[in-house]
Structure 1
């Protein structure tokens, strides 16, 4: 949500009407996307201070206890680590030491780089960047806005997959038979995630059929005039609740961004801040929603139980959401000073609030211990 070269930027740009440059508006809103930036900063603060919430630390403690009971070094990580966490301490089935492999760091990094490069190439291809002689031709930036993310991501991921298998076989990191077996195991691992996604999309369709989007749109639009200074914070909360209930951040963009554009004139600072609040709130609600596709894919990729992933990530997201809400209040109150001054004051206030929140949380944890 803070990357202008992405399908997210293209989605947001698509909801901007009236001939305005949606990508330029997206870029202007990036400095005010407090939730995204503060999440990254909060994670770094947790790493540096060693603090962690009990919802997550209990799984780390169980894993360390298992290692100590079996006489392993804590830096020895096996491919069954996550199953150890799920099945409890001292599971006999997972007591074998990890096998020696021929893998290297490059075997992880290079495929990821290829995936990013080819997915971006696939997106600009679907957006008409390579059709120089066609009427559908777009330049590099506009091709992202006009891209078909589904087509581009399929092209990019399939190309990266084929090249990765070729690289592993040539380097003899994996045998060809083993690489093909990994494909089958991958499909098997994705079956639960696909089922949850199907049910989540069904629930989302039912919510849309009930007219939730129209209801929220009417309530926000009718109350916007009298609460202009506090509107960014209100939009943030509404977007977070809407994305949590529906499991989609892109759908939330489609509901709230047109409202923000309609309420404020083109040159108003609150226009940019409110759009940022909409994007930040949508991502926040998407993070904590158990029916969101990103949440479901995260738990599937980590091979942990979905309900455990949702419950253990909630304290992180809600802490940053609380700080972001107060920061949007500051941004709304200081918007009269101009965008640059408002952004600077808001950032300083937000960082101070993050430090205060982490300090209070550490003291509460120390008292309980």
Structure 2
């Protein structure tokens, strides 16, 4: 079953169940079981052993603790504790009251959240969780649904980090490009220069960022998002009241302290940002061989360790502030327990996403899709669009942008070097763009899960409400890649893509106003 069309079954089954049942744990679990059965020719005992081994290796790998995964899970728990302290201290409420006097409209609150997503470009995990903590008090006060906030976070985090050379994503991609250029004898352009030149070819990322601002300013609530926004505006309910508590939501758990100050929110978050960035710089510099540069630092930084260090210091800071507050104040033990409990749903989803990702990797789903591209005899003019679509479907099926980069960038380089070297940078950029598109559409992406967590939104609500916007940006980018292929231009395809995004947004805005 490995490396064949049957390897697509678990991913497709999972996605169908997500749409039909809206139960992400059931859908992921079914996909895992189906994949394990395919791996072991429907032997139930061997399939159960396979699943057990995968879960075991999430925590223990090659005889030692899998520190990367454990640190990320630990950071999520720390984030839950910090969120609980921010809520109980009254800091979130005070910040919301302060910001609502300065940002007086729902449009402004959404736009500010998007700007924060662009500014915090160091890492997608860090972006998703930090922006949620900062923006949520403001968006809550303006009755912006959590699904809308999750969309804003997700559609700025990955698109920004994938075009920023000074980020964990940028450093990783530049490292891959460097190896590819050596392997294919490309010496007339350096990997950093190539990455920078690929930015205007990354049509989906740029289109998605533009669309976030258009959605805010044109009040463009389409598909499932419309119901969430209407409920939030009319009733003040930011979440579907029929659903269970979502990660990071402590609205009804604590009565906010009456003596809460803005600094009770801003200082712990500032400490989180500063400590995490400093830790990333230190771990990256220590792990760099030879000359240490900003690129080598971000290529070698330990993101999960840095997040854990930053989270620990931020929690200690919020704990100290809680201790200094005048009575009445909530019991610190209860705050910690409730904070831990809010993160459990996100951790369950993340563990199952890692498990099905391993199953899909064993089935060689990505390699099967890549082989289709490698074996196809297609005109070079179609390559950018083809790589965009294949990378999108691969990221959708496997739930990993980084894995898709690793598989598809070498194929894009090899194919274009042989067929048409002028399509090298557009095709590699199309791989990056397609990977982010697929990442936005799948419920098993780490970034998508953490965007839901950061916003305090129901995960499936986030996936389904973001999907129409992702498709809109992808259609526009697809047309742009066709133009690139047949004209070999840079500026015109980018302008065409952004104009198409703008035109579709204006048409939808006009139709919405006409109906109302």
> Which residue of 1 is the match for residue 6 of structure 2?
none
Structure-1 separation of matches of 2:280 and 2:192? 16
- 1:244 and 2:384 aligned: no
Structure-1 separation of matches of 2:264 and 2:200? 35
CA shift at 1:151, angstroms? 2.5
CA shift at 1:54, angstroms? 3.7
- Contact between 1:189 and 1:300, CA under 8 Å: does it hold in 2? no
> Which residue of 2 is the match for residue 199 of structure 1?
352
From 229, 234, 242, give the equivalent of 2:381. Answer: 229
> Which residue of 2 is the match for residue 49 of structure 1?
218
- 1:27 and 2:196 aligned: yes
Structure-2 separation of matches of 1:229 and 1:15? 24
User: Which range moved further: 110-119 or 269-278?
Assistant: 110-119
**Equivalences for 1:64-75 in 2 at 5 Å?**
64-67=233-236
CA shift at 1:63, angstroms? 2.6
CA displacement 1:255-281 (0-9 Å, x = unmatched): 101112222349944211111111111
Q: Relative contact order (C-alpha < 8 Å, sep 6+): which is higher?
A: 2
Task: Assess, with a 3 A threshold, how the Cα gap between structure 1 residues 258 and 168 changes in structure 2: closer, same or farther.
Answer: farther
Task: Assess, with a 3 A threshold, how the Cα gap between structure 1 residues 122 and 174 changes in structure 2: closer, same or farther.
Answer: farther
Task: Assess, with a 3 A threshold, how the Cα gap between structure 1 residues 179 and 278 changes in structure 2: closer, same or farther.
Answer: farther
- Contact between 2:257 and 2:329, CA under 8 Å: does it hold in 1? no
- Contact between 2:384 and 2:427, CA under 8 Å: does it hold in 1? yes
- Contact between 1:123 and 1:144, CA under 8 Å: does it hold in 2? yes
- 1:140 and 2:294 aligned: yes
CA displacement 1:165-205 (0-9 Å, x = unmatched): 446666x4999966664443232111111111111111111
- 1:157 and 2:311 aligned: yes
Structure-2 separation of matches of 1:355 and 1:252? 29
**Equivalences for 1:272-311 in 2 at 5 Å?**
272-311=425-464
CA shift at 1:103, angstroms? 4.5
> Which residue of 2 is the match for residue 321 of structure 1?
474
- Contact between 1:10 and 1:23, CA under 8 Å: does it hold in 2? no
Task: Assess, with a 3 A threshold, how the Cα gap between structure 1 residues 293 and 355 changes in structure 2: closer, same or farther.
Answer: same
> Which residue of 1 is the match for residue 409 of structure 2?
257
> Which residue of 2 is the match for residue 349 of structure 1?
496
CA shift at 1:32, angstroms? 1.7
User: Which range moved further: 256-265 or 173-182?
Assistant: 173-182
**Runs (5+) with no aligned partner, structure 1:** 68-80, 89-93, 336-341
Find the residue that maps to 1:229 and give its secondary structure. Answer: helix
CA shift at 1:99, angstroms? 5.5
Structure-2 separation of matches of 1:59 and 1:312? 9
> Which residue of 2 is the match for residue 39 of structure 1?
208
Find the residue that maps to 1:264 and give its secondary structure. Answer: helix
Task: Assess, with a 3 A threshold, how the Cα gap between structure 1 residues 151 and 322 changes in structure 2: closer, same or farther.
Answer: same
CA shift at 1:320, angstroms? 0.8
Task: Assess, with a 3 A threshold, how the Cα gap between structure 1 residues 296 and 19 changes in structure 2: closer, same or farther.
Answer: same
CA displacement 1:202-233 (0-9 Å, x = unmatched): 1111111112122122211222x632112111
Task: Assess, with a 3 A threshold, how the Cα gap between structure 1 residues 179 and 24 changes in structure 2: closer, same or farther.
Answer: farther
CA displacement 1:72-113 (0-9 Å, x = unmatched): xxxxxxxxx535x3249xxxxx999x8674455555455444
> Which residue of 2 is the match for residue 359 of structure 1?
506
Structure-2 separation of matches of 1:35 and 1:245? 18
> Which residue of 2 is the match for residue 8 of structure 1?
169
> Which residue of 2 is the match for residue 216 of structure 1?
369
- Contact between 1:130 and 1:137, CA under 8 Å: does it hold in 2? no
Please provide the CA RMSD for this pair.
Answer: 3.3
Structure-2 separation of matches of 1:31 and 1:112? 33
- Contact between 1:10 and 1:147, CA under 8 Å: does it hold in 2? no
User: Which range moved further: 50-59 or 265-274?
Assistant: 265-274
TM value normalised by structure 2? 0.59
Task: Assess, with a 3 A threshold, how the Cα gap between structure 1 residues 62 and 281 changes in structure 2: closer, same or farther.
Answer: same
Structure-1 separation of matches of 2:282 and 2:438? 31
TM value normalised by structure 1? 0.80
* Matched pairs, number: 339
Structure-2 separation of matches of 1:220 and 1:173? 65
Task: Assess, with a 3 A threshold, how the Cα gap between structure 1 residues 115 and 355 changes in structure 2: closer, same or farther.
Answer: same
Task: Assess, with a 3 A threshold, how the Cα gap between structure 1 residues 121 and 27 changes in structure 2: closer, same or farther.
Answer: farther
From 312, 326, 341, give the equivalent of 1:188. Answer: 341
Structure-2 separation of matches of 1:95 and 1:263? 56
CA shift at 1:146, angstroms? 2.2
CA shift at 1:252, angstroms? 0.5
